[in-house]
Structure 1
Amino acid sequence: MAINIIEKQTTEETFGPLKGKVAVVTGGSRGIGSAIAKLLAKNGAQVAFTYQFDDTSAGNVVTEIENDGGLTYASQVNVSEIKEVNSCLEEVIKRYGKIDILVNNAGITRDRSFRNMSQEEWNEVINVNLNSVFNTTSAVINQMITQKFGRIINIGSIIGQSGGFGQTNYAASKAGLVGFTKSLALETAKNGITVNAICPGFIETEMVAEMPDAIRDSIISKVPMKRLGHVDEIAEAVLFLAQSNYITGQEINVNGGLYM
C-alpha cells in the first residue's frame, strides 16, 4: 500500500523544550493521539503521526499544528503491518535525520464476552494494540541505541491493570504492553533510552461518548475525582516523560484515582 502523506509547507522555526527533537505518534488523528501530537509540536518537536482511515481528521490535526507554528505531517499507515511501518519510519528518518521520541498510542477495541469472541476479534486487537508496538519499536531501537538517546512512551490502559468485562482481548493487549515496557526498559537503560507506559483511566473521547448514559454515569460515580479525564491530561503526562531522564520501566496512572 502506498503511504498517503498529509502536510503543509512551512519555514517557521520552532521553539520550546523539545526543540530539535523528532517525535512519532501512532494513531494521532483524533482523541488522545491528536492531543499528544499537538502538545509535543507546541513544545518544539517535529512530529510525524500515523492514522489509518480518516483523511479529514488527520488533515485537521496537521493544519492546527502548523497554524500554531509547529512542524508535522501525517502518514496513512496500518501499524499492524510491519512493511508499512518500516516505510513510514524510514521516511521520517529521511526527512529529519533521526527519531528521538516514539509514542505508541494506536489502539482499537472489539468488545465481546469471551465465550462469544471470534478469533478474528482477538487477533485484530492483539495485532493493532500490541504487535504494532513491536513493529514501531523494532524500527527505531537500533538508531536510538546508536545515538544514545530515546524516549519510548506506550499508552496502556486501566483495563490492562484491572480487567474489563467483555474485554479479554483488549485487557490482554494492554497488560502485554506493560510487560513489554518493563522488559525493554531493562535492556536499554544503559543506552540513554527510557521506556515507560501511561495507563489512562476513562477519558472523554469519542469512544467513551458512545457509551449509554447510564454506563457512563456509573463509571463516573466510581472515580474518586468524580469526573472523566481529559485527553490533554494524558498528553501532559507524555510531555513530562519525553523530558524526563531518570524515569524508566514505570506505569504512570492517569485515572482520577480509579485504580491505585
Structure 2
Amino acid sequence: MERNENNARPVAVITGATRGIGRSIAQAFIGQGYDIAFCYRSNDVEALSLMAEAESAGSRVVASRLDVSDESAVLGFFEKIEQQFGRLDVLVNNAGQTRDGLLVSMEKKDMDDVLATNVVGTLLFCREAVKLMLPARCGSIINLSSITATKANKGQTNYAASKGAVEALTRALAVEVGKKGIRVNAVAPGVIKTEMAGELLGNFEKQLKQRLLARTFGEPNDIAAAVLFLARPENHYITGQVLTVDGGITLG
C-alpha cells in the first residue's frame, strides 16, 4: 500500500468507472490500497458491485451517478470527496463516449455530446481536482486519450477532435500546475477489448490484427497498469506526456 507522509490512505478519483477500462483502473487502485471516489452515467447495478468490491478490500468509497459535463453535479461530487477524504492524490479522467459517422451527415448533437463528455467533462474534473491537490502541493492527473488523436479512422472526426483536445489540455495543464507539484499526463489506448470496441472488433478483427505488432488486442488491465505507472509518486519526473499503449498498431 502506498502511503503519504501522514501515513493516510491515498485517494483516487476515477470517472466512468463501472465497466471496461474504467473498472479495471478502479480495481487497480483498490488493489494498491487506495480509497476511491468514482462516478458513472447509468449502470447502478455495476456501481453497487464496484462499491461492494472496494469496501470488502478495505477501501472507503464515494460514488455518484452523474453527467461529467454537468458543472453543478461535478461540484456536488467534489464536495462529497472533500467531506469524506479531505484530500485527493490521483484523478483519472476515463469517462468518454463516441458518436461515429461521416462528418458530412453528422448531426450537431453528435458533435456536442462527444465534446461535452470527452473535453468539457475532463476540464471540469481537472479544475476541481487541482483545487484539492494544491494545499498538499502534490498530485497526479491522468487523462484518457486515444490513438485516434493522431491516427484517426474514417467516421471519427468528432471523436478524434475530442481526444486531440484532451492531449493538448494535458500538456497545457502540466505547464500550469507543474511548479505546484502536480503532474498531468495522458494514456492513449489502442484497440482494447471492451464493450465500446465490440462493433469495431467484430467488423474488422482480421484487418486490425494484421496491423498489430503484438498480434493480439489489448485488455483493460493493460491500460490500468499504464495509469498506475504514471500515478506512482516515484515517477515524479514524468509530466506533460502521452503514453501510447497500442500493441504497436500505429507502427503496423
| TM-score, reference length from structure 2 | 0.93
Q: Mind listing any 5+ residue stretches in structure 1 that lack a counterpart? A: 1-15
Matched residue, 1:255: 246
Q: Counterpart of 1:230 in structure 2: which amino acid?
A: E
Residue 127 in structure 1 maps to residue 112 in structure 2: no
1:59 to 32, 48, 56: 48
Stretch moving more, 110-119 or 139-148? 139-148
Residues 53-88 of structure 1 deviation map (CA, whole Å, 9 limit, x = unaligned): 010111111222223333323210110111100100
Distance in structure 2 (CA, Å) of the matches to 1:159 and 1:52: 23
Q: In the alignment, which of 53, 56, 68 is matched to residue 79 of structure 1? A: 68
Per-residue CA deviation, residues 134-166 of structure 1 (Å, 9 max, x unaligned), is 111111213322220110000000111211210
Aligned partners of 2:186 and 2:241 also within 8 Å: yes
Equivalent residue in structure 2 for 1:246, among 219, 229, 237 = 237
Which residue of 70, 79, 88 corresponds with 2:59? 70
1:148 maps to 2:137 = yes
Aligned-partner residue type, residue 255 of structure 1? D
In structure 2, the residue matched to 1:9 is none
Cα distance in 2 for residues equivalent to 1:33 and 1:73: 15
Query: Helix, strand or coil for the counterpart of 1:50?
Result: strand
- Residue aligning to 2:207: 218
Q: Which runs of 5+ in 2 are unaligned?
A: none
How many positions carry a matched residue from both structures?
Answer: 245
Are the aligned partners of 2:2 and 2:10 in contact in 1 as well (CA < 8 Å)? no
Q: How does 1:192-211 map to 2 (within 5 A)?
A: 192-211=181-200
1:1-260 equivalences under 5 Å are: 16-17=1-2, 20-211=9-200, 213-243=202-232, 244-259=235-250
Whole-Å Cα distance in 1 between the matches of residues 150 and 74 of structure 2? Answer: 28
Deviations 1:96-135 (A, max 9, x none): 0011111000000000000011110000000000100111
SS in 1 for 2:30: helix
Counterpart Cα distance in 1 of 2:78 and 2:167 = 23
From the superposition, tell whether residues 30 and 112 of structure 1 become closer, same or farther in structure 2 (CA, over 3 Å): same
- TM value normalised by structure 1: 0.91
**Is the Cα contact below 8 Å between 2:62 and 2:81 reproduced in 1?**
no
Partner amino acid for 1:202? V
- State how far apart, in whole Å, the 2-side matches of 1:250 and 1:103 are: 15
Secondary structure, aligned partner of 1:205: coil
Cα RMSD between the aligned structures? Answer: 1.3
Task: Give how far 1:212 is off.
Answer: 5.9
Quickly say closer, same or farther: Cα 1:202–1:33, change in 2 above 3 A: same
Q: 1:208–1:216: 8 Å Cα contact kept in structure 2?
A: no
Instruction: Indicate if the aligned counterparts of 1:41 and 1:72 stay in contact, CA closer than 8 A.
Output: no
DSSP 3-state at the match of 1:217: helix
Deviations 1:176-195 (A, max 9, x none): 00000011111111111100
